């Protein structure tokens, strides 16, 4: 009995020394091995008083002789484990939720301390064992309680709000569970921004806000040139014999009158008092209506690349900093007003003669990021999923919206439409043509807008106004943007197939694979949300106009088709498919999501209406998909291609929106 107590004491004493010299995992293994050896009777049985060093050496020697093969195999496993652990990013990281960089840093510090300790600590006297005996019993217990009591596995962060459609919430939470745990493992997702992250279009809001504040960096001749430069069909007449140049002349005439009365204008815009007077001027109404109406015409007559960039051309002459500041102010303003969708009519030609005559257009006011989007991005980020935004709006428009909406902490980078830059009086300013290489991704950096992170959209106005002017950019282009461009060119304008090309060039090389999920609303997002085989899940946000000639309409139909079949994330992945989901929203007031697939839409000058899809053409197509038991691939590969009535048309109406398509899961 006395020898047994002595043996246990000696083992505990030795393990205390080993714990100081070896990593915890190895020390724990050796300690457990010795306990097993002692219990099996392999320790020395001789009587008399022995020092701790001698007894321990005998125990190890005896163990080696009696179980050499077993120890050799164990040592091999230890070596393998050590090598494997040293290659991971989170070696010896006690905090399961820490970031990759923190895990690596902690491990590096741990190894450095160990190396330093092994080099500098004096050797103990084997006869006296003074160093070993100086350790307290409580220290021994502390050393070996940690490895034998591992922390529970970190649980995924899930969505909890009740205003998600039930299947959308379940699908997203299944995705969180699949990829949760907090550690970044190369999983990333891509969001569109306009009508996806936001309710309504940020770039259209910029056009309206720019006109309301008369925030321009060009004189009348400069505006005429800026609006003309991007166009490819400027002199092609329509059925009425009018060209885009005719519209530009009307716009320039109105702008000249306003310039002479209230100008000259600057990127900062006019003050409130001047704006109030300006809005009553019929030339202002003429200018606003013709600008918005020309954008609608350009969207229908020019290529998608041209129409996307034309919307940005009026900002020619501004520095990036001036533009960014104007954009933040725009979203600060429009997040605080209730949404409206109204028809505006230009003055009678008898009052203001013009080439295009009296015209009308519809104008939406208001832009909102819902609490659902914040919850979704926060959950993805907490689960270690990286978030990219890819938009056909101007890159700095989206950067400003991300900052103003409190999404900055969750967004890895923004891909958007980039303007060519030109030198003007020693300043780098926006030109009226797109960047030749498509521009670059933009990454958040610095502290200048960190105060916005995590704040609700409604709170940003007060927070923004409290910042010193020189920290928010826009002062003669001298302050630094809180975003920096990356090094990989997009090589495409990010709209339609261009989004997939931009992702291929700017994001995929970073990870070696495509996104795991996509978030979309329209034809401009269809390619990147259907062509990647890596996609596990796609959420389509149900804005208005779910036509059969729109990518959002087709994806919405497929989402309803899968829902009718009870498809889940697990079953979609097992079948090699992507799960498509349709999320509804309410566009009235300040906008919100609803627990429905359909949406409450604003209608010009009328009460709002509820829609699931646009009309019975969508229902006919969806019924056909069900009747023929079409696969997801068959649906997308068939109905995405533009078809006219008659030839190869499955219905009595035209459908489709693409002239060519690489195919479902083709990349």
Tell me what pLDDT residue 464 has.
42
**Spatial distance between the Cα atoms of 650 and 346, rounded to a whole number of angstroms:** 42
Tell me what pLDDT residue 149 has.
59
Identify whether the C-beta of residue 655 lies closer than 8 Å to the C-beta of residue 548: yes
**Spatial distance between the Cα atoms of 522 and 542, rounded to a whole number of angstroms:** 9
Spell out the long-range contacts of 31-38 with Cβ–Cβ below 8 A and sequence spacing 24 or more: 31/144, 33/63, 33/71, 33/74, 34/59, 34/60, 34/63, 35/11, 37/62, 37/63, 37/67, 38/7, 38/8, 38/11
* Regions of the chain short of the pLDDT cut 50: 1-25, 27, 42-145, 448-478
What phi-psi label fits residue 526: left (phi over 0), alpha (psi between -120 and 50 degrees) or beta?
Answer: alpha
Tell me what pLDDT residue 134 has.
41
The number of CA neighbours under 13 Å toward the Cβ of 226 is 25
Neighbouring C-beta atoms of residue 263, cutoff 10 Å:
17
Q: How far, in Å, are 301, 651, 654 from residue 645 at the CA level?
A: 21, 8, 5
**Spatial distance between the Cα atoms of 623 and 471, rounded to a whole number of angstroms:** 56
Report DSSP letters for 69-108, one per residue: HHHHHHHHHHHHHHHHHHHSTTTT-S-TT--HHHHHHHHH
Query: pTM for the full model?
Result: 0.76
Tell me what pLDDT residue 462 has.
44
- Indicate the burial class of 399 (C-beta count within 10 angstroms; 0-12, 13-18, 19 or more): buried
**Residue 657: which of 640, 636, 637 has the closest Cα?**
640
For tokens 């069909």, name the residue.
233
Tell me what pLDDT residue 373 has.
98
The length of the chain is 667
With a CB cutoff of 8 Å and minimum separation 6, the contacts of 240 are none
Give ∠ CA 392-398-399 in degrees, rounded to 5. 140
DSSP state of 507: T
pLDDT tens-digit map of 113-124: 333 333 333 334
- Three-state DSSP state, 125: coil
**Spatial distance between the Cα atoms of 627 and 576, rounded to a whole number of angstroms:** 22
**Spatial distance between the Cα atoms of 424 and 600, rounded to a whole number of angstroms:** 47
For tokens 């398509």, name the residue.
661
Q: Which two tokens stand for residue 267?
A: 């990127």
The number of CA neighbours under 13 Å toward the Cβ of 281 is 20
Identify whether the C-beta of residue 262 lies closer than 8 Å to the C-beta of residue 270: yes
Q: How far, in Å, are 491, 499, 529 from residue 433 at the CA level?
A: 15, 19, 28
Identify whether the C-beta of residue 544 lies closer than 8 Å to the C-beta of residue 522: no
Parallel, antiparallel, or unpaired for β 198-199 and 368-369?
antiparallel
- Three-state DSSP state, 513: coil
Backbone angles phi, psi at 497, to 5 degrees: -60, -25
**Residue 124: which of 33, 42, 56 has the closest Cα?**
56
The number of CA neighbours under 13 Å toward the Cβ of 552 is 26
- Indicate the burial class of 606 (C-beta count within 10 angstroms; 0-12, 13-18, 19 or more): exposed
Q: Which helix (H) or strand (E) holds 624?
A: helix 616-627
Tell me what pLDDT residue 647 has.
61
The CA radius of gyration of the chain, in Å to the nearest whole number, is 33
Q: How far, in Å, are 229, 285, 294, 335, 612 from residue 211 at the CA level?
A: 20, 10, 14, 18, 34
**Residue 390: which of 536, 517, 502, 313 has the closest Cα?**
502
Q: How far, in Å, are 231, 294, 420 from residue 216 at the CA level?
A: 20, 18, 17
**Spatial distance between the Cα atoms of 640 and 658, rounded to a whole number of angstroms:** 6
Rounded (to 5) percent helix, strand, coil in the chain: 45, 15, 40
Tell me what pLDDT residue 480 has.
78
Tell me what pLDDT residue 502 has.
98
Q: In what order do the strands lie in the sheet containing 599-603?
A: 592-593, 585-586, 599-603, 606-611
Tell me what pLDDT residue 130 has.
40
**Residue 636: which of 601, 607, 665, 667 has the closest Cα?**
665
Parallel, antiparallel, or unpaired for β 360-365 and 368-369?
unpaired
**Spatial distance between the Cα atoms of 321 and 343, rounded to a whole number of angstroms:** 33
Tell me what pLDDT residue 370 has.
96
Backbone angles phi, psi at 540, to 5 degrees: -105, 125
Q: Which two tokens stand for residue 167?
A: 């299947």
- Three-state DSSP state, 536: coil
Report DSSP letters for 171-190, one per residue: HHHHHHHHH-SS---S-EEE
């Amino acid at each position: 009995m006395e020898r047994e107590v002595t043996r246990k004491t000696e083992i505990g004493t030795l393990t205390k020394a080993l714990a100081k010299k070896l990593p915890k995992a190895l020390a724990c293994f050796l300690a457990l091995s010795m306990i097993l050896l002692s219990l099996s009777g392999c320790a020395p049985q001789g009587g008399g008083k022995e020092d701790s060093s001698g007894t321990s050496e005998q125990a190890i020697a005896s163990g080696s002789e009696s179980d050499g093969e077993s120890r050799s195999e164990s040592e091999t496993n230890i070596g393998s484990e050590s090598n494997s652990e040293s290659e991971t990013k989170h070696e010896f990281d006690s905090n399961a939720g820490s970031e990759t960089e923190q895990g690596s840093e902690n491990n590096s510090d741990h190894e450095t301390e160990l190396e330093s300790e092994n080099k500098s600590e004096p050797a103990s006297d084997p006869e006296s064992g003074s160093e070993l005996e100086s350790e307290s019993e409580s220290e021994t217990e502390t050393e070996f309680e940690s490895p034998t009591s591992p922390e529970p596995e970190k649980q995924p962060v899930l969505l909890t709000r009740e205003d998600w459609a039930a299947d959308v919430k379940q699908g997203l939470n299944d995705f969180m569970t699949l990829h949760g745990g907090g550690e970044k493992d190369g999983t990333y997702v891509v969001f569109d921004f306009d009508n996806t992250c936001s309710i309504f279009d940020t770039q259209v809001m910029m056009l309206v806000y720019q006109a309301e504040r008369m925030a321009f960096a060009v004189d009348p001749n400069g505006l005429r040139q800026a609006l003309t430069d991007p166009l490819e069909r400027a002199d092609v007449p329509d059925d009425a014999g009018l060209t885009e140049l005719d519209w530009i002349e009307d716009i320039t005439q109105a702008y000249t009158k306003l310039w002479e009365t209230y100008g000259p204008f600057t990127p900062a815009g006019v003050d409130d008092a001047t704006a109030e007077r300006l809005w009553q001027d019929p030339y202002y109404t003429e200018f606003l209506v013709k600008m918005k109406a020309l954008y609608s015409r350009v969207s229908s007559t020019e290529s998608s690349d041209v129409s996307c960039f034309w919307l940005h051309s009026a900002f020619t002459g501004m520095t990036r900093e001036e533009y960014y500041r104007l954009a933040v102010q725009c979203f600060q303003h429009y997040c605080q007003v209730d949404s409206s969708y109204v028809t505006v009519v230009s003055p009678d030609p008898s009052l203001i003669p013009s080439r295009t005559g009296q015209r009308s257009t519809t104008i939406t006011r208001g832009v909102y990021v819902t609490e659902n989007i914040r919850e979704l991005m926060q959950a993805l980020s907490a689960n270690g999923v990286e978030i990219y935004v890819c938009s056909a709006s101007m890159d700095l428009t989206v950067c400003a919206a991300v900052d103003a909406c409190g999404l900055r902490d969750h967004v890895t980078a923004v891909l958007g439409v980039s303007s060519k830059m030109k030198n003007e009086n020693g300043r780098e300013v926006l030109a009226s043509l797109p960047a030749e290489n498509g521009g670059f991704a933009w990454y958040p950096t610095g502290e200048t807008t960190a105060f916005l992170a995590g704040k609700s959209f409604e709170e940003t106005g007060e927070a923004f106004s409290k910042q010193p002017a020189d920290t928010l950019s826009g002062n003669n282009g001298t302050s630094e943007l809180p975003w920096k461009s990356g090094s990989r060119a997009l090589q495409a304008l990010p709209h339609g197939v261009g989004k997939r090309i931009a992702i291929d060039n700017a994001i995929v090389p970073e990870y070696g694979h495509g996104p795991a999920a996509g978030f979309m609303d329209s034809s401009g997002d269809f390619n990147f949300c259907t062509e990647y085989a890596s996609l596990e899940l796609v959420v389509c946000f149900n804005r208005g106009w779910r036509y059969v000639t729109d990518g959002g309409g087709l994806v919405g139909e497929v989402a309803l088709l899968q829902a009718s079949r009870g498809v889940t994330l697990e079953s979609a992945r097992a079948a090699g498919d992507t799960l498509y989901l349709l999320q509804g929203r309410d566009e009235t007031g300040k906008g919100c999501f609803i627990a429905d697939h359909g949406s409450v839409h604003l209608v010009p000058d009328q009460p709002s209406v509820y829609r699931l899809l646009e009309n019975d053409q969508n229902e006919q197509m969806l019924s056909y998909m069900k009747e023929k038991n079409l696969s997801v691939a068959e649906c997308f590969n068939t109905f995405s291609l533009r078809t006219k009535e008659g030839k190869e048309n499955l219905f009595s109406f035209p459908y489709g929106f693409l002239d060519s398509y690489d195919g479902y899961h083709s990349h």
